[in-house]
Structure 1
């Protein structure tokens, strides 16, 4: 299963909402609080589950210990967790290989590479944002993607 093309802020928002509701909540009540429509919310939940931050069962969402730490600890700790997780998930693993092989790649080339894996333009940019947030890659001079 490929990583859903959702924003970092959407996943963090979901985690914060569930945390504020005591660490467990009905997905029906989450929709209004997270900046996503119902179709997109399911992708946000999938992303959080793939990262080991949330468990969904029935209509309930429950934070995992990692999800709780993502909300309670400094962002830096969450970034370390993400870096370990994302390095082994697609399309991040392939993206990292691509950038490491050449030492750097043009942003447009990276976007096209990600789009070649089934993402649209917005999704490709969100994947790059995850990579930057997790400190797997960096954007240099606004035009190059380099390994972090």
Structure 2
């Protein structure tokens, strides 16, 4: 299963909503409580589950210990956690490997790599944003992707 092309803040927003509703909530209630900016909630839930931050069970969404920590602890700890998790998830594994090998990869080449995984332009941006947020890579001068 490929990583859903959702924004970092969509996942963080979902975690905050579930946390504020007690850490366990009916998915239908989340849909009502969540801002329309979350887009397709099912993809946001899939991303949170892939990251080990949320579990769905019988129509309920439950924060995992990591999900609870993501909301309650400093952002830096979440970034460290995501760095560890995302390194083992495609397309991040391929992206990190390519950037580590080349030391400096053009944005065009990154886009081409991510398109092979089926991402459109918005998806490419979102995947790259996750990689930067998790400090897997950095963007240099707006046109190069380099190791963090």
- TM-score when scaled to structure 1? 0.96
Other-structure match for 2:97 = 97
Q: C-alpha offsets along residues 99-146 of structure 1, whole Å, 9 cap, x if unaligned?
A: 111111011210121011111110111000000000000000111000
Q: Distance in 2 between the 1:69 and 1:87 partners?
A: 20
Other-structure match for 1:44 = 44
Does the residue aligned with 1:132 lie in a helix, a strand or coil?
helix
Other-structure match for 2:74 = 74
Does the residue aligned with 1:55 lie in a helix, a strand or coil?
strand
Does the residue aligned with 1:31 lie in a helix, a strand or coil?
helix
Q: Distance in 2 between the 1:58 and 1:43 partners?
A: 17
Other-structure match for 1:85 = 85
Kindly tell me the number of residue pairs found equivalent between the two proteins. Answer: 146
Q: Distance in 1 between the 2:117 and 2:62 partners?
A: 30
Structure 1 position 36, deviation (Å): 2.5
Other-structure match for 2:27 = 27
Other-structure match for 1:65 = 65
Does the residue aligned with 1:62 lie in a helix, a strand or coil?
strand
Structure 1 position 61, deviation (Å): 0.1
- Runs of 5+ unmatched residues, structure 2: none
Please list every run of at least 4 consecutive aligned residues from structure 1 whose deviation after the TM superposition is greater than 4 angstroms.
none
- Runs of 5+ unmatched residues, structure 1: none
Please state if 1:134 is matched with 2:126: no
